[in-house]
Amino acid sequence: MTYLDRTVPESSVEIAFTRHAAEFAPRADRWDETATGPRAKTLRMREHEIVFEEGDAADRLYEIADGAVMLYKMLPDGRRQVLEILGQGDLFGLSGGDAHDCTAETLSASGFRVVDRRDAEASVAGQQKISLCLRDRLTFLHEHAVLLGRKSACERVATFLLWMALGRARRAGGAPATNTAVIRLAMTRQEIADHLGLTIETVSRVISDIRRRGIVVADGQDRLRVPDVRLLARMSSVH
Protein backbone atom coordinates (compact mmCIF):
# COMPACT_ATOMS: atom_id res chain seq x y z
CA MET A 1 0.00 0.00 0.00
CA THR A 2 1.47 3.40 -1.00
CA TYR A 3 0.54 6.92 0.00
CA LEU A 4 2.51 9.89 -1.44
CA ASP A 5 5.16 7.43 -2.60
CA ARG A 6 5.73 6.16 0.95
CA THR A 7 5.10 2.48 1.52
CA VAL A 8 3.05 1.50 4.56
CA PRO A 9 3.33 -2.15 5.59
CA GLU A 10 0.06 -3.86 4.75
CA SER A 11 0.25 -5.99 7.87
CA SER A 12 0.33 -3.00 10.23
CA VAL A 13 -2.80 -1.50 8.64
CA GLU A 14 -4.63 -4.82 8.89
CA ILE A 15 -3.61 -5.25 12.52
CA ALA A 16 -4.76 -1.74 13.42
CA PHE A 17 -8.10 -2.23 11.65
CA THR A 18 -8.64 -5.62 13.28
CA ARG A 19 -7.99 -4.19 16.74
CA HIS A 20 -10.38 -1.29 16.09
CA ALA A 21 -13.13 -3.63 14.84
CA ALA A 22 -12.65 -6.02 17.73
CA GLU A 23 -12.91 -3.19 20.24
CA PHE A 24 -16.18 -1.76 18.97
CA ALA A 25 -17.95 -4.73 17.35
CA PRO A 26 -20.84 -6.03 19.47
CA ARG A 27 -20.15 -9.50 20.85
CA ALA A 28 -22.87 -12.00 21.71
CA ASP A 29 -21.53 -12.27 25.25
CA ARG A 30 -21.82 -8.51 25.82
CA TRP A 31 -25.63 -8.72 25.85
CA ASP A 32 -25.32 -11.48 28.41
CA GLU A 33 -23.08 -9.18 30.46
CA THR A 34 -25.79 -6.49 30.34
CA ALA A 35 -28.59 -8.94 31.08
CA THR A 36 -26.76 -10.44 34.05
CA GLY A 37 -25.04 -7.28 35.33
CA PRO A 38 -25.40 -5.86 38.84
CA ARG A 39 -28.45 -3.77 37.88
CA ALA A 40 -30.20 -6.63 36.06
CA LYS A 41 -32.69 -8.89 37.83
CA THR A 42 -34.29 -12.28 37.39
CA LEU A 43 -38.01 -12.76 37.82
CA ARG A 44 -40.30 -15.78 38.00
CA MET A 45 -44.05 -15.57 37.60
CA ARG A 46 -46.90 -18.05 37.70
CA GLU A 47 -49.32 -18.85 34.90
CA HIS A 48 -51.62 -15.95 33.90
CA GLU A 49 -49.88 -13.27 35.93
CA ILE A 50 -49.63 -9.69 34.67
CA VAL A 51 -46.04 -8.66 33.92
CA PHE A 52 -47.06 -5.06 33.20
CA GLU A 53 -50.21 -3.24 32.16
CA GLU A 54 -50.90 -0.75 29.40
CA GLY A 55 -49.96 2.70 30.71
CA ASP A 56 -47.29 1.46 33.14
CA ALA A 57 -43.85 3.09 32.91
CA ALA A 58 -41.80 1.45 30.14
CA ASP A 59 -38.50 1.59 31.99
CA ARG A 60 -37.52 -2.10 31.85
CA LEU A 61 -36.99 -4.73 29.16
CA TYR A 62 -37.78 -8.41 29.66
CA GLU A 63 -36.06 -11.39 28.04
CA ILE A 64 -37.92 -14.69 28.34
CA ALA A 65 -35.66 -17.38 29.81
CA ASP A 66 -38.44 -19.98 29.77
CA GLY A 67 -42.21 -19.99 29.42
CA ALA A 68 -44.57 -17.96 27.22
CA VAL A 69 -46.14 -14.48 27.26
CA MET A 70 -48.96 -12.84 25.36
CA LEU A 71 -49.23 -9.12 24.62
CA TYR A 72 -52.71 -7.67 24.23
CA LYS A 73 -54.81 -4.51 24.15
CA MET A 74 -58.27 -4.04 25.66
CA LEU A 75 -60.99 -2.03 23.94
CA PRO A 76 -63.27 0.22 26.02
CA ASP A 77 -66.17 -2.24 25.58
CA GLY A 78 -64.14 -5.13 27.03
CA ARG A 79 -63.10 -6.79 23.79
CA ARG A 80 -59.48 -7.93 23.65
CA GLN A 81 -56.99 -8.20 20.80
CA VAL A 82 -54.04 -10.49 21.46
CA LEU A 83 -51.15 -8.89 19.59
CA GLU A 84 -48.31 -11.38 19.95
CA ILE A 85 -47.33 -14.69 21.49
CA LEU A 86 -43.73 -14.73 22.70
CA GLY A 87 -41.47 -17.56 23.83
CA GLN A 88 -38.01 -18.41 25.06
CA GLY A 89 -35.34 -15.93 23.95
CA ASP A 90 -37.80 -13.20 22.95
CA LEU A 91 -37.38 -9.64 24.22
CA PHE A 92 -40.42 -7.54 25.13
CA GLY A 93 -41.28 -4.32 26.94
CA LEU A 94 -40.17 -2.15 24.04
CA SER A 95 -42.21 1.00 23.62
CA GLY A 96 -42.10 4.10 21.44
CA GLY A 97 -42.79 6.29 24.46
CA ASP A 98 -42.38 6.35 28.20
CA ALA A 99 -45.40 4.13 28.86
CA HIS A 100 -46.34 0.63 27.69
CA ASP A 101 -48.89 0.59 24.89
CA CYS A 102 -50.14 -2.92 25.73
CA THR A 103 -50.46 -5.42 28.57
CA ALA A 104 -48.16 -8.43 29.02
CA GLU A 105 -49.46 -11.60 30.68
CA THR A 106 -47.81 -14.97 31.19
CA LEU A 107 -49.42 -17.95 29.46
CA SER A 108 -47.48 -20.45 31.57
CA ALA A 109 -45.08 -20.30 34.49
CA SER A 110 -42.24 -18.16 33.14
CA GLY A 111 -38.81 -16.86 34.01
CA PHE A 112 -37.35 -13.55 32.84
CA ARG A 113 -34.14 -11.58 32.77
CA VAL A 114 -35.09 -7.97 33.52
CA VAL A 115 -32.83 -5.16 32.28
CA ASP A 116 -33.11 -1.43 32.87
CA ARG A 117 -34.10 0.16 29.56
CA ARG A 118 -31.42 2.86 29.90
CA ASP A 119 -28.71 0.24 30.42
CA ALA A 120 -29.81 -1.66 27.32
CA GLU A 121 -29.98 1.48 25.18
CA ALA A 122 -26.53 2.62 26.39
CA SER A 123 -24.94 -0.70 25.41
CA VAL A 124 -23.85 -1.42 21.84
CA ALA A 125 -24.86 -5.04 22.28
CA GLY A 126 -28.16 -3.87 23.81
CA GLN A 127 -28.88 -1.67 20.82
CA GLN A 128 -28.14 -4.60 18.52
CA LYS A 129 -30.45 -6.86 20.53
CA ILE A 130 -33.24 -4.26 20.36
CA SER A 131 -32.68 -3.79 16.62
CA LEU A 132 -32.97 -7.52 15.93
CA CYS A 133 -36.09 -7.68 18.09
CA LEU A 134 -37.74 -4.80 16.19
CA ARG A 135 -36.91 -6.37 12.82
CA ASP A 136 -38.50 -9.61 13.99
CA ARG A 137 -41.61 -7.74 15.18
CA LEU A 138 -41.93 -5.90 11.86
CA THR A 139 -41.91 -9.16 9.92
CA PHE A 140 -44.51 -10.68 12.24
CA LEU A 141 -46.79 -7.62 12.05
CA HIS A 142 -46.77 -7.80 8.23
CA GLU A 143 -47.71 -11.50 8.40
CA HIS A 144 -50.42 -10.82 10.96
CA ALA A 145 -51.89 -7.98 8.87
CA VAL A 146 -52.29 -10.40 5.94
CA LEU A 147 -53.81 -13.00 8.26
CA LEU A 148 -56.43 -10.62 9.68
CA GLY A 149 -57.14 -8.85 6.40
CA ARG A 150 -57.24 -11.62 3.81
CA LYS A 151 -57.26 -15.14 5.26
CA SER A 152 -60.30 -17.31 5.91
CA ALA A 153 -61.07 -18.67 9.38
CA CYS A 154 -59.58 -22.06 8.43
CA GLU A 155 -56.42 -20.42 7.07
CA ARG A 156 -56.07 -18.28 10.20
CA VAL A 157 -56.22 -21.25 12.56
CA ALA A 158 -53.88 -23.28 10.34
CA THR A 159 -51.42 -20.36 10.23
CA PHE A 160 -51.51 -20.06 14.02
CA LEU A 161 -50.84 -23.79 14.45
CA LEU A 162 -48.02 -23.58 11.90
CA TRP A 163 -46.40 -20.72 13.83
CA MET A 164 -46.62 -22.79 17.01
CA ALA A 165 -45.16 -25.83 15.21
CA LEU A 166 -42.23 -23.91 13.75
CA GLY A 167 -41.46 -22.01 16.95
CA ARG A 168 -38.13 -20.17 16.78
CA ALA A 169 -37.42 -21.67 13.35
CA ARG A 170 -40.19 -19.40 11.99
CA ARG A 171 -38.66 -16.35 13.67
CA ALA A 172 -35.28 -17.20 12.14
CA GLY A 173 -36.86 -17.64 8.71
CA GLY A 174 -36.04 -21.34 8.67
CA ALA A 175 -37.83 -24.64 8.85
CA PRO A 176 -38.05 -27.40 11.46
CA ALA A 177 -35.44 -30.16 11.40
CA THR A 178 -38.15 -32.73 10.60
CA ASN A 179 -41.55 -32.61 8.90
CA THR A 180 -43.34 -33.52 12.14
CA ALA A 181 -43.91 -31.35 15.21
CA VAL A 182 -45.62 -31.33 18.59
CA ILE A 183 -47.49 -28.21 19.70
CA ARG A 184 -48.18 -27.41 23.34
CA LEU A 185 -51.23 -25.16 23.40
CA ALA A 186 -50.73 -22.98 26.46
CA MET A 187 -53.57 -20.76 25.24
CA THR A 188 -57.28 -21.22 25.76
CA ARG A 189 -59.63 -21.28 22.80
CA GLN A 190 -60.76 -17.76 23.76
CA GLU A 191 -57.18 -16.47 23.75
CA ILE A 192 -56.58 -18.03 20.33
CA ALA A 193 -59.80 -16.43 19.08
CA ASP A 194 -58.71 -13.01 20.42
CA HIS A 195 -55.40 -13.41 18.60
CA LEU A 196 -56.95 -14.41 15.26
CA GLY A 197 -59.92 -12.04 15.27
CA LEU A 198 -62.44 -14.91 15.42
CA THR A 199 -65.12 -16.13 17.80
CA ILE A 200 -64.38 -18.98 20.21
CA GLU A 201 -67.05 -21.08 18.46
CA THR A 202 -65.29 -20.68 15.09
CA VAL A 203 -61.89 -21.59 16.53
CA SER A 204 -63.30 -24.71 18.20
CA ARG A 205 -65.11 -25.76 15.02
CA VAL A 206 -62.02 -25.32 12.80
CA ILE A 207 -59.70 -27.17 15.21
CA SER A 208 -62.21 -30.03 15.42
CA ASP A 209 -62.36 -30.17 11.61
CA ILE A 210 -58.56 -30.15 11.30
CA ARG A 211 -58.34 -32.98 13.83
CA ARG A 212 -61.06 -34.98 12.03
CA ARG A 213 -59.05 -34.70 8.79
CA GLY A 214 -55.89 -35.95 10.55
CA ILE A 215 -53.90 -32.77 9.86
CA VAL A 216 -53.30 -32.54 13.62
CA VAL A 217 -53.69 -35.32 16.18
CA ALA A 218 -54.59 -34.85 19.84
CA ASP A 219 -51.63 -35.94 21.97
CA GLY A 220 -52.88 -35.14 25.47
CA GLN A 221 -55.07 -32.43 26.98
CA ASP A 222 -53.06 -29.46 25.70
CA ARG A 223 -50.81 -31.03 23.07
CA LEU A 224 -51.30 -31.51 19.34
CA ARG A 225 -49.07 -33.58 17.07
CA VAL A 226 -48.56 -32.44 13.46
CA PRO A 227 -47.75 -35.50 11.29
CA ASP A 228 -47.02 -33.38 8.17
CA VAL A 229 -45.94 -29.76 8.69
CA ARG A 230 -45.84 -29.14 4.92
CA LEU A 231 -49.50 -30.09 4.63
CA LEU A 232 -50.38 -27.64 7.43
CA ALA A 233 -48.36 -24.96 5.62
CA ARG A 234 -50.33 -25.51 2.41
CA MET A 235 -53.57 -25.31 4.32
CA SER A 236 -52.49 -21.98 5.85
CA SER A 237 -51.54 -20.52 2.44
CA VAL A 238 -47.94 -20.05 3.61
CA HIS A 239 -45.40 -20.81 0.89
> Are 195 and 101 members of one domain?
no
Domain residue limits at 58 = 27-149
Question: Out of 101-105, 153-157, 158-162, 182-186, which region has the weakest mean confidence (pLDDT)?
Answer: 182-186
pLDDT digits (tens, 9 = 90+) for 48-61: 999 999 999 999 99
Q: How many Cβ atoms from other residues are within 10 Å of residue 81's Cβ?
A: 14
Q: What pLDDT sits at residue 171?
A: 56
pTM exceeds 0.85 for this model:
no
- Is residue 165, in this structure, part of any structural domain at all? yes
Q: Is residue 14 part of a domain?
A: no
Residues 158 and 230 in one domain: yes
- What mean pLDDT is predicted for residues 226-239? 88
* Pair 158, 211 in one domain: yes
- Amino acid letter, residue 149: G
State mean pLDDT over 158-171: 81
Predicted local distance difference test score (pLDDT) of residue 4: 43
Can you say whether the dihedral through the CA atoms of 191, 228, 217, 89 is positive or negative? Answer: negative
Last residue of a domain, one of 149, 182, 215: 149
Are residues 133 and 156 part of one domain? Answer: no
Q: Return the higher-pLDDT residue of 63 and 37.
A: 63
Give me the residues paired with residue 86 across strands: 69
What is the distance between the alpha carbons of residues 178 and 194, in angstroms, rounded to a whole number? 30
Q: What is the pLDDT of residue 20?
A: 42
- Pair 195, 184 in one domain: yes
**Could you tell me if 34 and 87 lie in one domain?**
yes
Residue 3 falls inside a structural domain: no
Highest mean pLDDT among 18-27, 197-206, 226-235: 197-206
CA distance 105 to 83: 12
Q: What pLDDT digit, counting tens, does each position of 15-43 carry?
A: 443 444 444 444 445 777 777 666 789 99
Same domain, 193 and 144: no
As a whole number, mean pLDDT of residues 194-222 equals 94
Q: How many domains does the chain divide into?
A: 2
Residue 22 included in any domain: no
> Could you tell me if residue 17 is inside a domain?
no
In this structure, the answer to whether residues 40 and 129 fall within a common structural domain is: yes
